[in-house]
Amino acid sequence: MSRSGNWYDNAPMESFWYTLKTEFVHHEQFATRAEAKAKIFERIEVFHNRERLHSSLGYKTPVDFAQEKMLDAA
C-alpha cells in the first residue's frame, strides 16, 4: 500500500484535510497568516485529538485510543 503511485496511500490525509476545511477553516476569518496557523494548530491539538470522537477508533479520541493501546501493550 505504501509504494509510489498508490492512491490509497493518501486517502486518510485527504479525508482529514477535507474535514478540517469544511468544519473549521471555511467558517473562520483570519487577520494574518500567523493567526491562521495558531488557530488551526489549536483546533487540531485541542479539538481533533482530545475531544472529537473518531468512528474508525471505536468512537474514541485519538489521545484516548493511544493511551488504551499503551496500557494494553504494558
CA dihedral (15, 29, 42, 73) in degrees, to 10, reads -10
Please give the grid coordinates belonging to residue 21: 476545511
* Statement: the pTM of the whole predicted model exceeds 0.85: no
Contact 20, 40 (CB under 8 A): yes
pLDDT of residue 49: 92
- Could you report the per-residue pLDDT of 25-48, keeping only the tens digit for each? 999 999 999 999 999 999 999 999
DSSP state of 60: B
pLDDT of residue 22: 95
Q: 3-state SS of 23-54?
A: HCHHHCCCCCHHHHHHHHHHHHHHHHHHCCCE
